[in-house]
Structure 1
Amino acid sequence: MKISEMIKSVDSQNQFEVLKNTYQQIEYSWNLKLNLSQIDTSKIKNVIVTGLGGSAIGGDLLINFLRDEIKYPYQVNRNYNLPKYANENTLVIASSYSGNTEETVSALNDAIKKKCQVVCITTGGKIENLANQNSIPVVKLLKGFQPRYALYLNFFALLKIFESLILIDKQEKIVQEIILLLKQKSEIYSKEKNETLNLAESLLGHTPIIYAVSDITSAVACRFKGQFNENSKVHAFYNFYPELDHNEIVGWESYRSIMNFKVINLLDETYNEQIKKRFEITSKLIKNSGAEIINLNSSEKNFKVRLIDLIYLGDWITYYLAILRNVDPTEIDNINFLKDNL
């Protein structure tokens, strides 16, 4: 059966078209007109992005994306409360696509109590109501997406906030490069035969383990892992260098082929030379233990463009893996069950 026929029979909410049109999410968020006049940038001494799931990944990705540009201590918070240090000198960006994520609603209330400077990113819900009641600026996102598929809306809205508050330099040129790239890649990845489908086929029956580098591609690995979980409905794990060479490397001594692990190395030319050696040596040990390795990298010239290129690659791989496994890439029954019973 052709992949296009399989998609029609499995993809209940046409996420295929959502993936194809991802670049439009970026265009939407980047063209937003923001009114952030309530924020006093002269008081900002640290920044917290609070959110869960796809909303938190946007915060993680910003650390990688702006690793040489963020001038303030920066943290992604995934909990009901903010860190103790949060105060009136803290910029809190509360991000929840639905607007009803209970941990984020709780953290937003905490930010209000602590008199933090706050901006909200959402489509509505309790987050928007709380923001309106407390004269907090809201960046409104397009409705109608699964939160994980709305990463690009979320991330580029977050980037736009940083630029609008002049916390970073202008990003226009890079953003336009990314939009153009995703337009081009969407045509390639949506073809009947393509690289992402081949990679998905190679992962059938395997448990992916994604290896990246701390503070450089670690958010991409986290995104891959989450997309394997939610799209493909398979377990996946991730870790990052150099930390994994101080513990996880030893676990490969007891690897057996019945475990069916397959390692995905996320590579980039900017890695420290010692990191590159670590990838090489550790990969030899993994291969000697009997596991297979897939090396993924982007050939784009700019690091920021390469990051988004890899994220988009992973989105398509995990989508096609769902189709090949005959599971709907949209549904998240276990998450919905949990929410209904909390």
Structure 2
Amino acid sequence: MNSLDDVAAMKQKDPSGVLASTAMFPDQCQQAWEESQKVVFPDEYKKVKNIVVAGMGGSRFTPKTIGALYRNKIKVSYEICEDYTVPGYVNSDSLVILCSYSGTTEEVLAAGEDARKKGAKIAGIMSKKMDVPGYYFDPKFNPCGQPRIGGGYLLIGHLGLLKALGFVEAEDKEVTDAIAFAREIGKKYAAEVLTEQNPAKKLALLLKDKHPFIITAEFLKGFGNGFANQINETAKMISDYRYISELNHHLLEGLSHPDSIRQNGLFLFFLSHCYSEPVRKRFGITKDVVTKQQLAAEDIELTGPDKISQVLEAYTLSGFTTYYMAMLYDADPVAIPWVDYFKAQLAK
């Protein structure tokens, strides 16, 4: 597709309605927030000493985002599990949350069975009801049906669960204001807004045929993972995510080779006034090192008034951007043929 302003042509390439689902991200968040914090748990669930979240893909980066966002506020040890088994320390004092949009993810179900054997409390967050307490949602604001496009349910649903359990204090106004902010800023990214005035379309054009390095820090670490995932699955393009300050200890020396990185490498720095002062300083110096080595770099300045607003702002931007990237590649944004092939081979 040559033009991102031909809305009718885009909708023809999007028979499943990914664009509609993308625009409903704030609705997903609102529904999840209203429902998930009302979940009632047994008292013993509120007395655990650690939480392990089992999830893969879009069901992994969403709780990871909440973990990074509330890192200094979650009252117990909190870990993401991306394996068939849970960590060795899991026992009767642990809560294992099974996070799977479909409720059928192989690794998540296996981790759940391992947790059962170790006597852990188990909860779920998914669209398929299980025989354990949890948030089981009707994804009515995700008409395309693709789990990663329904990320609002898992993202804010996870926050609501942690609040219901008493492990995070999240004010209702803070969350609803953030959702309202995402809804408002999403209007700038809508398909009807011409490219000249549309930051998401401009970013899609910038990223086309590049190898992006998504650079975030602190409370945006989970989002960096999420954006890279969306680029892979929705846009069918390679991507990488890195964190400041960890990358400062090795990556800066790895930019000399191969030479092709100067043709297609692009560092995308997500900036925030909510970062700590040492981290903000590191962003500027990191960009200086990158550009001195003749690599392309671009800043994305988030404008939300607080951390949760900026997380939802970032996901709103990434959702629209990766949709427009798929259009540029004439790709069906919902299709995942190679993942489907892999699963079919695995099932034999």
**TM-score, structure 1 as length reference:** 0.92
CA RMSD of aligned residues (A): 1.7
Counterpart Cα distance in 2 of 1:278 and 1:23: 32
Shift of 1:307: 1.5
Q: Residue 156 of structure 2 corresponds to which residue in structure 1?
A: 156
Query: Identity of paired residues, percent?
Result: 25
Shift of 1:35: 4.0
Q: Residue 110 of structure 1 corresponds to which residue in structure 2?
A: 114
Which residue identity is paired with 1:309?
Answer: E
Q: Residue 133 of structure 2 corresponds to which residue in structure 1?
A: 137
Shift of 1:122: 1.3
Counterpart Cα distance in 2 of 1:275 and 1:178: 23
Counterpart Cα distance in 2 of 1:157 and 1:327: 30
Is 1:51–2:47 an aligned residue pair?
A: no
Q: Residue 253 of structure 1 corresponds to which residue in structure 2?
A: 256
Distance 1:58 1:229, change over 3 A: same
**TM-score, structure 2 as length reference:** 0.91
Q: Any idea what SS the aligned residue of 2:76 has?
A: coil
**What pairs up with 1:279-318 in 2 under 5 angstroms?**
279-318=283-322
Shift of 1:61: 0.6
**What pairs up with 1:1-342 in 2 under 5 angstroms?**
1=3, 2-32=5-35, 34-41=38-45, 43-124=47-128, 128=129, 131-132=130-131, 136-143=132-139, 145-190=145-190, 191-193=193-195, 194-213=198-217, 215-254=218-257, 256=259, 259-342=263-346
Counterpart Cα distance in 2 of 1:65 and 1:245: 22
Which residue identity is paired with 1:192?
Answer: L
Counterpart Cα distance in 1 of 2:207 and 2:29: 29
Which residue identity is paired with 1:138?
Answer: G
Shift of 1:42: 5.2
Task: String of CA shifts for 1:163-221, please: whole Å, max 9, x gaps.
Answer: 111112243112211221122123221123311101111112211111111x4211111
Shift of 1:255: 5.4
Task: String of CA shifts for 1:248-277, please: whole Å, max 9, x gaps.
Answer: 110113353554111100111232333223
Contact kept in structure 2, 1:50 and 1:93, CA below 8 Å: yes
Which residue identity is paired with 2:269?
Answer: N
Counterpart Cα distance in 1 of 2:121 and 2:73: 21
Q: Any idea what SS the aligned residue of 1:216 has?
A: helix
Q: Greater RCO between the two (CA within 8 Å, min separation 6)? A: 2
Shift of 1:332: 0.6
Q: Any idea what SS the aligned residue of 1:217 has?
A: helix
Counterpart Cα distance in 1 of 2:117 and 2:46: 21
Distance 1:116 1:5, change over 3 A: same
Contact kept in structure 2, 1:121 and 1:138, CA below 8 Å: yes
Shift of 1:62: 0.9
Contact kept in structure 2, 1:21 and 1:186, CA below 8 Å: no
